[in-house]
Chains A and B, each alone.
Chain A
């Protein structure tokens, strides 16, 4: 009995350790004090007002949204096409292309960042949104490929074969059979691509220059000077955004599972 209580205490403490820092930042963002202090003397939205009233913060927010939106389009199209191809390639080629495409998940961020910076600097891509989009797409694509590939692996190939045998063109088969079946996974990949770009900092540290300062980059620059509660407000907003996207991804995943069960049963 004491063992069971000790065990429960143990994992509940670890969960508190996981959740508390984030909850405290969220609580502090509603502080009415002009500096960070806990517990806050009162509550208010002055730091959200400060954020919304700052043209610099807003410009960075829009830039991050715009870059992430472009990354989503590029990464989702390239990644979905590649997943469809990968699923049909022989094993050895699958492994070779897979290693290239998934490697950004493993290669240390700093190595990727300075490698891209080294070449992009020569082509004047530093300090431009274009440079950020090109680089972030490489980092986001693995999430699209893993999500779409997983759903393709669970797909009943006979459905595609049936469509082809009934006279559908390969493109028609893709549009009317394959795509509807994998659509939730494509959206999950797109969501992860979005958040990967939106939260990305290490590449942005090198590529942002002075002309394309993303939201994480501006937070980083500010943190070097002062731990100002505005950052707590911005952080809370990005946490809420991430939670919303994660919730969306979860619902889409359930749909994907539902679709797969539906097709194998029917």
Chain B
């Protein structure tokens, strides 16, 4: 009895209750402020403070043909990659939720192995596959479908296919996580009431999987917006993405413009995240999928 009283006394020293946890978080918070948040903020500030406070850089952005073109390419790429990943990813997620334990683990390994292979290595793989003397061209010539090699590498097509490949796991995992939670009794009830498999899928499974689809679409779209390595390696010089334009401007030491573009990219990213976290279900899916 006495020990319990002592213990509860130790646990409930009210004013001290939050100080100890803060001291545990403080080293990391200070570290990240010093080496990440403040550097980022001071760089972004260059967009409005060069040399005096001005909004001129942003005003110029709205009428800047290069920026508008690059922004358009970035959005189009993100959209195509997202739709592609959805079309490719949904069947795998569905299979993952229906397979028996052993087979599902195997599929999961195939999905996850590329996930932890670096983006650089995967982009390189596509350079090997899509080159003039690459595997795809050699195979097409060998089968007699084409006579001369097609130009596949350094085209928007190469960027799209490589990015879909790299981002697919981000689509598959949230959708699979939602599909796995669907109550099997619902499917049996629908089938028992005479619905053919197609109808069970369209009227029960598909609507219930929407939060997973929304989470996957959000992740893939947001990550596509900031992609750098893949488009730089397999894309053409004319299909500049926003991140490539930013890197180019830094090389030219044009910091105000680079900061402006970075702010635009960051704002678009955060806006999308904030909006989608308000959609019903998406927040929970993201929470369970990141675990």
- Chain A residues proximal to chain B, CB less than 8 Å: 3-4, 7-8, 10-11, 14-15, 17-19, 21-22, 24-25, 28, 36-38, 78-79, 81-82, 84-90, 93, 97, 100-101, 104, 106-112, 114-120, 134-135, 137-138, 141, 145-146, 150, 161, 164-167, 170, 195, 199, 201-202, 205-206, 216, 219-220, 223, 227, 231-232, 235, 238-239, 242-243, 245-246
Q: When the two chains form the complex, which single residue of B25, B118, B122, B124 contacts A223, counting CB atoms closer than 8 Å? A: B124
Q: When the two chains form the complex, which single residue of A82, A117, A170 contacts B27, counting CB atoms closer than 8 Å? A: A82
CA–CA, A239 and B114, complex, Å: 9
Known A-B contacts A106-B269, A108-B265, A199-B118; A21 and B290 likewise in contact (beta carbons under 8 Å): no
A-B residue pairs in contact (CB < 8 Å), sample of 25 = A14-B91, A14-B92, A18-B111, A21-B125, A21-B129, A24-B128, A25-B125, A81-B24, A104-B36, A107-B40, A107-B266, A110-B226, A111-B262, A111-B266, A112-B40, A115-B39, A161-B7, A161-B11, A220-B120, A223-B233, A235-B125, A238-B118, A242-B116, A242-B118, A245-B116
CA–CA, A37 and B28, complex, Å: 49
Check B91 against A19 for contact (C-beta < 8 Å).
Answer: no
Check B36 against A112 for contact (C-beta < 8 Å).
Answer: yes
**A209 CB, min distance to chain B CBs, angstroms:** 13
Nearest residue in B to A25 (C-beta to C-beta)? B125
**Contact residues of B between 24 and 53, Cβ < 8 Å to A:** 24-29, 31-33, 35-44, 46
Nearest residue in A to B265 (C-beta to C-beta)? A108
Check A24 against B116 for contact (C-beta < 8 Å).
Answer: no
Count residues of chain B with CB under 8 A from any CB of chain A. Answer: 85
* Residues on B with beta carbons closer than 8 Å to the beta carbon of A18: 110-111, 114, 165, 168
* Residues on A with beta carbons closer than 8 Å to the beta carbon of B21: 84-89
CA–CA, A79 and B32, complex, Å: 11
CA–CA, A232 and B122, complex, Å: 11
CA–CA, A85 and B20, complex, Å: 7
**A8 CB, min distance to chain B CBs, angstroms:** 8
Q: 8 closest A-B pairs (Cβ-Cβ)?
A: A108-B226, A85-B24, A165-B7, A115-B40, A119-B39, A199-B118, A21-B125, A85-B25
* Residues on B with beta carbons closer than 8 Å to the beta carbon of A239: 113, 117, 121
**B133 CB, min distance to chain A CBs, angstroms:** 7
Q: Quick one: which of B8, B23, B32, B168 has the most chain A CB within 10 A?
A: B32
* Residues on A with beta carbons closer than 8 Å to the beta carbon of B129: 21, 24
Q: Quick one: which of A19, A134, A202 has the most chain B CB within 10 A?
A: A202
* Residues on A with beta carbons closer than 8 Å to the beta carbon of B46: 118
Known A-B contacts A38-B138, A115-B43; A85 and B36 likewise in contact (beta carbons under 8 Å): no
Contact of B127 with A by CB under 8 A: yes
Check A37 against B222 for contact (C-beta < 8 Å).
Answer: no
Check A166 against B131 for contact (C-beta < 8 Å).
Answer: no
**B219 CB, min distance to chain A CBs, angstroms:** 10
Check B42 against A119 for contact (C-beta < 8 Å).
Answer: yes
Check A165 against B4 for contact (C-beta < 8 Å).
Answer: yes
Q: When the two chains form the complex, which single residue of B39, B92, B116, B228 contacts A116, counting CB atoms closer than 8 Å? A: B39
Check A22 against B92 for contact (C-beta < 8 Å).
Answer: no
CA–CA, A214 and B127, complex, Å: 21
Selecting from B54-62, B65-73, B178-186, B243-251, the interface stretch reads B243-251
Nearest residue in A to B233 (C-beta to C-beta)? A223
Check B6 against A165 for contact (C-beta < 8 Å).
Answer: yes
CA–CA, A257 and B116, complex, Å: 22
Known A-B contacts A164-B10, A227-B131; A201 and B43 likewise in contact (beta carbons under 8 Å): no
**A205 CB, min distance to chain B CBs, angstroms:** 8
**B202 CB, min distance to chain A CBs, angstroms:** 12
Q: Quick one: which of A86, A101, A138 has the most chain B CB within 10 A?
A: A138
CA–CA, A183 and B118, complex, Å: 27
Check B243 against A219 for contact (C-beta < 8 Å).
Answer: no
Nearest residue in A to B226 (C-beta to C-beta)? A108
CA–CA, A142 and B42, complex, Å: 22
Check A19 against B121 for contact (C-beta < 8 Å).
Answer: no
Q: When the two chains form the complex, which single residue of A28, A81, A165, A243 contacts B28, counting CB atoms closer than 8 Å? A: A81
CA–CA, A145 and B28, complex, Å: 10
Nearest residue in A to B4 (C-beta to C-beta)? A165
CA–CA, A220 and B117, complex, Å: 15
Check A108 against B269 for contact (C-beta < 8 Å).
Answer: yes
**A74 CB, min distance to chain B CBs, angstroms:** 8
Q: When the two chains form the complex, which single residue of A82, A137, A206 contacts B29, counting CB atoms closer than 8 Å? A: A82
**A127 CB, min distance to chain B CBs, angstroms:** 16
Check B121 against A108 for contact (C-beta < 8 Å).
Answer: no
Chain B 207-234 near chain A by CB (<8 Å), digits 1 or 0: 0000000000000001001101100010
**Contact residues of B between 238 and 260, Cβ < 8 Å to A:** 243, 246-247, 250, 255, 258
5 further A-B contacts with Cβ under 8 Å, apart from A165-B7, A242-B113, are A19-B110, A100-B33, A110-B247, A115-B40, A219-B124
